[in-house]
Amino acid sequence: MISMKTLYLPEKISDELAKAAEELTLMAKKPISQSMAVNLLIEVYHAHLNNPCALDAFSQQLKSLDIMSPEEFDKYWDETAKLQETKRRPKTKKK
């Protein structure tokens, strides 16, 4: 039996994941779903961090970042998506 879990992503992240799946599909010349793309990206992440130099550099970079809390991150992406949607709407003149 396959166990599935729902993952809620901010729209921007979801769009980026869809683009990554499309790009991987083109590279593989066979269909790659978004869940397959996540799996492949995690595999690349693990492979990259198996290199001690890459792991050290990545760890140092993470330590130096001012990382948001998960709640701040979600709020930031939600607000950014709303702003982008507002900018995309055609402006109409009020009478």
Distances from the Cα of 52 to the Cαs of 38, 46, 49, 55, in angstroms?
Answer: 23, 11, 7, 5
* Token reading at 34: 């978004």
The helix/strand/coil state of 4 is coil
The dihedral sign for the CA sequence 18, 22, 27, 33: positive
Orientation of helix 52-64 relative to helix 34-49, angle to 10°: 110
**pTM of the shown model:** 0.66
Residue 38 lies inside a defined structural domain of this protein: yes
Residue 71 lies inside a defined structural domain of this protein: no
Taking the C-alpha atoms of residue 77 and residue 81, their distance in angstroms, rounded to an integer, is 6
Using the predicted structure, report yes or no on whether residue 34 has a pLDDT greater than 60.
Answer: yes
> In total, how many domains does the chain have?
1
Residue 49 lies inside a defined structural domain of this protein: yes
**Higher-confidence residue: 91 or 24?**
24
Q: 49 lies in which domain range?
A: 28-65
Residue 56 lies inside a defined structural domain of this protein: yes
Centroid of chain to Cα 19: 10
Residue 44 lies inside a defined structural domain of this protein: yes
pLDDT in the model for residue 81: 66
Using the predicted structure, report yes or no on whether residue 87 has a pLDDT greater than 70.
Answer: no
**Higher-confidence residue: 42 or 67?**
42
